[in-house]
Structure 1
Amino acid sequence: MKIISRNFVVIFSLLFLFFVGCKHEKVLRTITVCNVLEFDRNEVVSIPCSNLNLNLNDLNKDNLLLRENSKKDYNVLQWVDNNLDGEYDELLFMADVDAKSTKEYELLWKKNGEELQPKPKVTTYSRFVPERIDDYAWENDKVAFRAYGPKAQQLVEEGREGGTLSSGIDLWLKRVDYSIIDHWYNENAKQPGYYHIDHGEGYDPYHVGASRGTGGIGVWGEDSLYTSKNFIAYRTITTGPLRTIFELDYAPWSKYNIKETKRISLDLGSNFSRVEEILFSETIVPDYAIGITLHDNKGETKLDIKNGVYRHWEPIDDSYVGEGVIIKSNQVTNAEVYKTDIPDQSHLLISTKPCLNLIYYIGFAWQKSDQVHNIEDWDSILLKQSKFYANPLFVICN
């Protein structure tokens, strides 16, 4: 009787722990990620919340965790409300998938999941910067960019100092993986011109002026590039550990009266911002041209129409910077290197079919960041990014 009683107690205890465990942790979905390319991939993937088919309010999304099958460590998650209506639209996580293989992850609910969420060391970031007139700046662990707002335009039009009249995209060359935007702007407020000097974290030597910078657009015709002015409004959609998204609105521009909104996103670990141009005109527009400025006509260009890769490699101060645009080849009608003696008007120009939504990637790499050592490295990164774009990771949620 003693032996039977002891066995009964053991079995009862195990069953009790099992049922308690079920109440404290439950696997909700299995997520399979497939990589069809011939090289390993470590990048952000997105799952529409509609595919999860979960009531996030009842579950408390902060208690949801994700991990690779058979692993103990949890992945960093980010929830995104794309239209700012108060409801989450997609779930982001970083997938690490070997060449030509698949990997499975599990999404689970845990009672104390909020306490177990991993704390990322690096992040993406973007914000409006009213203390530097009215820039909008964005960055991740590799690169940083900025665009110019209406007050900067007003200063130029009034003939006052400190402004910039341009819808071109500026590049900030950073050599650290942590966020530098706030620090550089704060120091610049105390010491004007601070971020134009390399204090060990990088600097901004890149000149935009009236050019397209890297990835600004216009309408190309009769040897002239018609462009918008500075953005007039902005919306920060999300900024977090894996992706930042924002929108910039522009006043109607050119004789075509084009209405333009740029929706820009930047993922952790990527040298490339994704640009979605939302465009509308009541009259027929001949094309939209994406530009990369050719500073003083220096540097080497490459037009790889087959792979949708357009590259510039140029000397800036005592180092080199590679810039690039990636776009699907079926969108492109023409590409050329246009050189002139007029300041800020020499460009590598990619002419595209006029459309309501134009999507492309813009990016760069600075030699002193150790991300690239030569032009061949930059070409390799560009080609890989073009393959990422053409072959996104395939995600199945069960």
Structure 2
Amino acid sequence: MKIHFKSSTIIAGLFILGCTSGCSVKNKLNGINVEVKNNLDFNRKEIVSIPSGKLLDLLKNTSEKNVRVKIQGTNDYLRTQWIDYDNDGKSDELLFETDIKANSVVNYSIVSDTVKVPESKAITYSRFVPERIDDYAWENNKVAFRAYGPTAQQLVEENKEGGTLSSGIDIWLKKVDYSIIDSWYKKNVVSPGYYHIEHGEGYDPYHVGASRGTGGTGIWENGSLYVAKNYITYKTIATGPLRTVFELTYAPWSNYGVQETKRISLDLNSNFSKFEINLRSDKKIPNYTLGITLHDKKGEVNINKANGWFRHWEAIDNSFVGEGIVVNPEVVSSAFANDSKVPDQSNLLIVTNPKAKLTYYAGFSWTGSRQISDVTQWDEMLSKQAKIIANPLTVSVK
């Protein structure tokens, strides 16, 4: 008996096809066997997700903490992570790392064992940051981001110093693979502005203001972009070695009374945060628009509507940053660079058909991190991300 489903990550686009009840399979001698297939012509280092319902037989005789994943036929144990998405005390899925060659298949075994799995300083992480007003920040071993909360908004509206009024997404340029959020914020308390200066690990020279930053949203209507203010609530769902997940909610905004919840996740090794948007509104909205700031409009824009990726490439200080959005091309109605004379209102805009739910990916790469060296490599990374979303890894539980 063989059961097939699709699974992938922020890099791979995480599309899971659920199975019917009773579909878990038990192999008493060897545990549960999993086949992972890469149908694309390039190597993929991603996170595989196994719904916990497929592991019921194994979990009858062992606890989650003793579940291990290894490459079949070896003792090469992989890092894993359980996630409880609805916070009901029961894990919903098991994650593990896979590193798979182009057009290849790798077989894994999920077993009960107490062997210690090697740890790594490369992790995913997110948290609310009260020491910097009320930021919410997230990162992995490649990139870091932050969003701004209600107190930061209030300070601006009361004409007080230190606030930020923006629903745009900020990016932090990191060049190390270990976590920097706690360290940079702690040092910023002692020395305000610390993380805006390069100290050897990277820094934050990126200006968001009222722009969309990298992946902020809005409604485009009659030549204007209408946007939410800062997030009003947050909920941390998961942090761990392989994936961090959280939600941000926004007060109703625009004349349409849009109520917006963003579930944001970031996987290890990915340059792209995954945004899963849930929308409600008092009346039908004309569109839902994604954006990337164009800053001083000296950068380069590339719109690849056919394949669903859109990018900006710009010089920042003595290096270059590529920002990008990847989305299913079928939902995109138009995309263009909006040139405005108003500060922070020039954005690359991707206008999508209005839906109650929308998923897209927003991320970046920085030449200072040596992940890429030029715009051609950034375009290649975006092209691969689009292919990954359209062709998630095939996972078979046997």
With normalisation by structure 2, the TM-score equals 0.92
Give the equivalent residue in structure 1 for 2:253: 253
- What are the Cα deviations for residues 314-350 of structure 1, in whole angstroms up to 9, with x where unaligned? 0111111000000010010111111011000001000
Report the CA distance between 1:27 and its aligned residue.
2.6
Pairing 1:49–2:52 present: yes
SS at match of 1:31: strand
Report the CA distance between 1:42 and its aligned residue.
1.0
Q: How large is the Cα RMSD of the aligned pairs?
A: 1.1
Amino acid at match of 2:180: I
CA contact (8 A) 1:26 1:109 kept: no
Give the equivalent residue in structure 2 for 1:68: 71
Point out 4+ residue stretches in structure 1 off by more than 6 angstroms.
none
In the TM superposition, 1:103-142 aligns within 5 A as 103-110=106-113, 113=114, 115-142=115-142
Give the equivalent residue in structure 1 for 2:237: 237
Pairing 1:328–2:328 present: yes
In the TM superposition, 1:209-358 aligns within 5 A as 209-358=209-358
Give the equivalent residue in structure 1 for 2:83: 80
Report the CA distance between 1:297 and its aligned residue.
1.0
Distance in 1 separating the partners of 2:250 and 2:323? 24
Distance in 1 separating the partners of 2:58 and 2:288? 42
Report the CA distance between 1:282 and its aligned residue.
2.6
Give the equivalent residue in structure 2 for 1:363: 363
Aligned residue among 40, 45, 49 for 2:43: 40
SS at match of 1:53: helix
Aligned length, in residue pairs: 371
Distance in 1 separating the partners of 2:60 and 2:123? 26
Report the CA distance between 1:70 and its aligned residue.
1.7
Report the CA distance between 1:250 and its aligned residue.
0.5
CA contact (8 A) 1:247 1:261 kept: yes
Report the CA distance between 1:307 and its aligned residue.
0.8
Report the CA distance between 1:56 and its aligned residue.
3.4
Report the CA distance between 1:97 and its aligned residue.
1.4
Distance in 2 separating the partners of 1:46 and 1:354? 29
Unaligned runs of 5+ in 2: 1-27
Which of the two has greater helix per residue?
1
In the TM superposition, 1:73-222 aligns within 5 A as 73-110=76-113, 113=114, 115-222=115-222
SS at match of 2:57: coil
CA contact (8 A) 1:279 1:356 kept: yes
CA contact (8 A) 1:27 1:109 kept: no
Report the CA distance between 1:118 and its aligned residue.
2.6
Unaligned runs of 5+ in 1: 1-24
Report the CA distance between 1:101 and its aligned residue.
1.5
Larger Rg: 1
With normalisation by structure 1, the TM-score equals 0.92
Report the CA distance between 1:80 and its aligned residue.
0.4
- Amino-acid identity (%): 56
Distance in 1 separating the partners of 2:308 and 2:57? 38
Give the equivalent residue in structure 2 for 1:27: 30
- What are the Cα deviations for residues 42-63 of structure 1, in whole angstroms up to 9, with x where unaligned? 1011111112233637511111
Distance in 2 separating the partners of 1:381 and 1:55? 38
- For structure 1, which segment, 378-387 or 58-67, has the greater mean C-alpha deviation from structure 2 after superposition? 58-67
Pairing 1:372–2:364 present: no
Distance in 2 separating the partners of 1:42 and 1:368? 22
For CA contacts below 8 A with separation 6 or more, give which structure has more relative contact order. 2
Distance in 1 separating the partners of 2:391 and 2:317? 37
Pair 205,316 (structure 1): closer, same or farther in 2 beyond 3 Å: same
Distance in 2 separating the partners of 1:329 and 1:385? 13
CA contact (8 A) 1:42 1:95 kept: yes
SS at match of 1:386: helix
